[in-house]
């Protein structure tokens, strides 16, 4: 069964550094999402993306965050200057039609 | 902030027992989804309920959406060790699932 793949599985970075989290959504999917889950807390919505533009974003998704679909297969989340509180598991998801999200296994970001 | 509170937070039962997990909110949702998440993996969609009062069955799992579309329940009959995991409800207010609000989660452990 096709799946959403995320790389790397674990990223360690120093505070203030830029990170790019990568996702390869399922190939025929049109809707793309990023969510995050801070350890011990609930899954939180960051951003949704359709037709090469952001559909919705949360208050968390400030100017430090950006998303891009640089080619036909990748979907990336960039954090320009990481903060300690950005440490979390970041999940990418995609869907062919709305309401049927497929999540990847996440990238664990640790900011030191 | 739309909160989705799940209860109980933790549940440890023996194989063969029945259980019900609740997902409650003061907000109305267009639809509600249930996911299961295993350690180190992303959430996996189990079901989407859309209509108030709707009941959906997935083998031994029965999902119900409240009449007012503010709450939902998941009932598992004759639980098995393979049902062990974190169960998450997620509500959609946009009608397009472009921004899901996740619940606080119920961690279920089923022992032999």
Q: Read off the pLDDT of each residue in B50-57 and give the average, rounded to a whole number.
A: 96
Contact at CB, B101 and A106, closer than 8 angstroms: no
Q: Read off the pLDDT of each residue in B32-37 and give the average, rounded to a whole number.
A: 96
Instruction: Tell me the CA end-to-end span of chain B in Å, nearest whole number.
Output: 40
Strand partners, A51: none
CB count, 10 Å around CB of A73?
A: 10
Whether the predicted pLDDT of B95 surpasses 90: no
CB A39 within 8 A of CB A104: no
B25 touches chain A (CB under 8 A): no
- Alpha-carbon distance values, A63 to A60, B26, B112 (Å): 9, 31, 50
Contact at CB, A56 and B44, closer than 8 angstroms: no
Q: Read off the pLDDT of each residue in B16-26 and give the average, rounded to a whole number.
A: 97
| Model pLDDT for residues B60-91, shown as the tens digit of each residue | 999 999 999 999 999 999 999 999 999 999 99
Label residue B107 exposed, middle or buried (CB < 10 Å: 0-12, 13-18, 19+).
Answer: middle
CA atoms within 13 A on the CB side of A56: 19
Cα dihedral across residues B60, B61, B66, B72: positive or negative: positive
A60 touches chain B (CB under 8 A): no
Distance between CA A31 and CA A67 in Å, rounded?
13
Whether the bond between A8 and the residue before it is cis, its omega within 30 degrees of 0, is yes
Residue A38 belongs to domain spanning:
5-96
Whether the predicted pLDDT of B24 surpasses 90: yes
Work out how many domains chain A is built from and give that number. 1
A110 found inside a domain: no
The architecture in CATH of the region B5-111 reads Sandwich (2.60)
Residue of A nearest to B49 (CA): A99
B76 touches chain A (CB under 8 A): no
Task: Using CB atoms, pick whichever of B90, B97, B101 lies closest to residue A98.
Answer: B97
CA-based nearest residue to B77, from B8, B27, B21, B9:
B21
**CATH number (domain holding residue A80):** 2.60.40.10
A44 found inside a domain: yes
CB B37 within 8 A of CB B43: yes
A111 found inside a domain: no
CB B110 within 8 A of CB B59: no
A77 found inside a domain: yes
Model confidence band, residue B2 (pLDDT cutoffs 50, 70, 90): low
CB B27 within 8 A of CB B103: no
Length of chain B: 112
Distance between CA B7 and CA B74 in Å, rounded?
11
Render each residue's pLDDT in chain A as its tens digit; 112 residues: 779 999 999 999 999 999 999 999 999 899 999 999 999 899 999 999 999 999 999 999 999 999 999 887 899 999 999 999 999 999 999 998 877 899 999 999 999 9
Burial per residue of A82-94, b for 16 or more beta-carbon CB atoms within 10 angstroms, e otherwise: beeebbbbbbbbb
């Amino acid at each position: 069964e096709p799946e959403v793949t995320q790389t790397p599985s674990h990223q360690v970075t120093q505070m203030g550094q830029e990170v790019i989290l990568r996702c390869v959504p399922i190939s025929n999917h049109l809707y793309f999402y990023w969510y995050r889950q801070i350890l011990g807390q609930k899954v939180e919505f960051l951003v949704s993306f359709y037709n090469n533009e952001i559909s919705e974003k949360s208050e968390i998704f400030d100017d430090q965050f950006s998303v891009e679909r640089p080619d036909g297969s990748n979907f990336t989340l960039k954090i320009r200057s990481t903060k300690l509180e950005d440490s979390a598991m970041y999940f990418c998801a995609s869907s062919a039609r709305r309401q049927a999200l497929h999540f990847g296994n996440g990238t664990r970001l640790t900011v030191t | 902030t739309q909160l989705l509170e799940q209860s109980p937070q933790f549940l440890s039962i023996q194989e063969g027992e029945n259980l019900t997990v609740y997902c409650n909110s003061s907000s109305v949702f267009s639809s509600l989804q249930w996911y299961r998440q295993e350690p180190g993996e992303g959430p996996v969609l189990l079901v989407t309920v859309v209509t108030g009062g709707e009941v959906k069955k997935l083998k031994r799992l029965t999902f119900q959406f409240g009449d007012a579309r503010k709450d939902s329940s998941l009932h598992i009959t004759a639980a098995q060790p393979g049902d062990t995991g974190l169960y998450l409800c997620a509500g959609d207010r946009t009608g397009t699932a472009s921004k899901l609000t996740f619940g606080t989660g119920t961690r279920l452990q089923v022992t032999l």
